[in-house]
Amino acid sequence: MIGRCLAGVLLGFPLAAVMLRLFLRVLPNDGADWVIPALIAFFPLWMAWMIGAFAFRNAVRAWATLGGANAAAFLMLWLTHHAG
């Protein structure tokens, strides 16, 4: 139980941040007009990842899945940054 909770808290935080950054990245002017709404949306998104971590069967799956999602999201952010 504590393993899934920690996975949601520790890996959900960067995942929520990167997802919002990717969302802002696709908006015109790099999403400068949507920064405040994105910051407001951050906490519910992080909470969703924390709650979603309890849907996994065990802590190893939660860590592996959220870790993989983090790796994929950061890779996409890096690719969009270097693509232009």
What's the pLDDT tens digit per position in 12-59? 999 999 999 999 998 988 889 999 999 999 999 999 999 999 999 999
Q: CA 69, CA 84: separation in Å to the nearest integer?
A: 23
Dihedral pair phi/psi, residue 58, rounded to 5°: -150, 175
Both tokens of 7, joined, read 């996975």
Given a cut of 90, whether residue 81 has pLDDT beyond it is no
Tally of CB atoms within 10 A around 84: 4
Both tokens of 69, joined, read 């999602």
Picking from 47, 82, 52, 83, the residue whose alpha carbon sits closest to that of residue 69 is 52
The better pLDDT of the pair 81, 74 is held by: 74
pLDDT at 84: 64
pLDDT at 16: 96
